[in-house]
Amino acid sequence: MEIEPDCSISVNLASGLMSGRRVGEIVRTLADLAGIFADEQARRSMPQEQPVYRVQSYTPVEEGVNGGLFWGVTFLYPGRVGDEYFMTKGHFHTIRNRAEYYVTVNGFGALILMEEDGSTRLDWMMPGTVHYIPGHTAHRVANTGSTTLSFLACWPSDAGHDYGVIAEHGFGGRVMCVNNAPALVPQS
Ligand code: F6R
Ligand code: MN
């Protein structure tokens, strides 16, 4: 269903922060990310209420509508669980062929991309980089810097989010701090 467009939505282009009555917001804390990091014991020993990322989104049509677009921004805080950088849960789109754009606003990170056969690669993120995430490709972002990593996103309103496959099998690699630098470490 088409919802009346809201012209009072705005985005601060310096920070990515959105404002407007219809902007939704969710926060993911360490408690929400159980089982996501390699070192589950390290995650459990950290303050569970600590925010790892915050997502703002603008959804001018209902979720599931074919032909619409959603807009969002993610603020991924700096930090590590053991040697693994703070990261998003990661997902495939439920409708597998749905693509997405990410655009980095601030900070430094790695976009982890995995095809359905498990092959995994990285795209480095820095202010201004534009990332086209093709369909059939799971995506997750790790903050490899010491400041908040913020990125804009635009995706089809019927894409949907499938977190199950990633929760069960993970990606083909993890972005870890190795000798003081980020590296993609293949998952055994
Ligand atoms: C939407 C999208 C992003 C992520 C956000 C949080 O399709 O890819 O808006 O939803 O960066 O990551 P997840 O959803 O993996 O927790
Ligand atoms: Mn997505």
Quickly list DSSP for 4-15: PP-TT-EE-TTT
> Residue 180 Cα, ligand 2 centroid: separation in angstroms?
29
Residue 8 within any structural domain of the chain: no
Q: How far apart (Å, rounded) are the C-alpha atoms in residues 187 and 4?
A: 46
What residues pack around ion ligand 2 (CB closer than 5 A)? Answer: 100
> Residue 20 Cα, ligand 1 centroid: separation in angstroms?
20
Residue 7 within any structural domain of the chain: no
CATH number assigned to the domain comprising residue 151: 2.60.120.10
Question: Considering the entire predicted model, what is its pTM?
Answer: 0.96
| Index of the ligand 1 atom closest to the CA of residue 91 | 15
Residue-level pLDDT at 89: 98
- What are the b/e assignments for 72-82, b being 16+ CB within 10 Å? bbbbbebbbbe
> Residue 81 Cα, ligand 2 centroid: separation in angstroms?
23
Q: What's the sign of the alpha-carbon dihedral 36, 175, 172, 76? A: positive
Q: Is 91 in the pocket of ligand 1 (CB under 6 A)?
A: yes
Q: How far apart (Å, rounded) are the C-alpha atoms in residues 69 and 41?
A: 39
> Residue 179 Cα, ligand 2 centroid: separation in angstroms?
31
**CA of 63, nearest ligand number:** 1
**Total domains in the fold of the chain:** 1
Q: Is 90 in the pocket of ligand 1 (CB under 6 A)?
A: yes
Write the pLDDT tens digit of every residue in 42-76: 999 999 999 999 999 999 999 999 999 999 999 99
Residue 6 within any structural domain of the chain: no
Q: How far apart (Å, rounded) are the C-alpha atoms in residues 169 and 164?
A: 9
Q: How far apart (Å, rounded) are the C-alpha atoms in residues 84 and 82?
A: 6
Residue-level pLDDT at 71: 96
- Residue whose CA is at the smallest distance from ligand 1 atom 6: 88
- Residue whose CA is at the smallest distance from ligand 1 atom 15: 90
Question: Of 80, 136, 72, which Cα lies nearest the Cα of 105?
Answer: 72
Q: Which domain holds residue 136?
A: 17-186
For the CA atoms of 39, 149, 163, 50, the dihedral, rounded to the nearest 10 degrees, stands at: 50
Q: Which residues of the chain have pLDDT under 50?
A: none
Residue 12 within any structural domain of the chain: no
60: tokens are: 């001018």
CA distances (Å), origin 1, targets 57, 63, 67, 102: 18, 9, 11, 25
Residue 69 within any structural domain of the chain: yes
CA distances (Å), origin 106, targets 37, 45, 85, 99, 168: 24, 29, 17, 22, 31
Residue 158 within any structural domain of the chain: yes
Residue 182 within any structural domain of the chain: yes
Residue 140 within any structural domain of the chain: yes
Give the SS3 label for residue 29: strand
Residues 26 and 52 sit within 8 Å (Cβ to Cβ)? no
Question: Of 65, 141, 51, which Cα lies nearest the Cα of 103?
Answer: 141
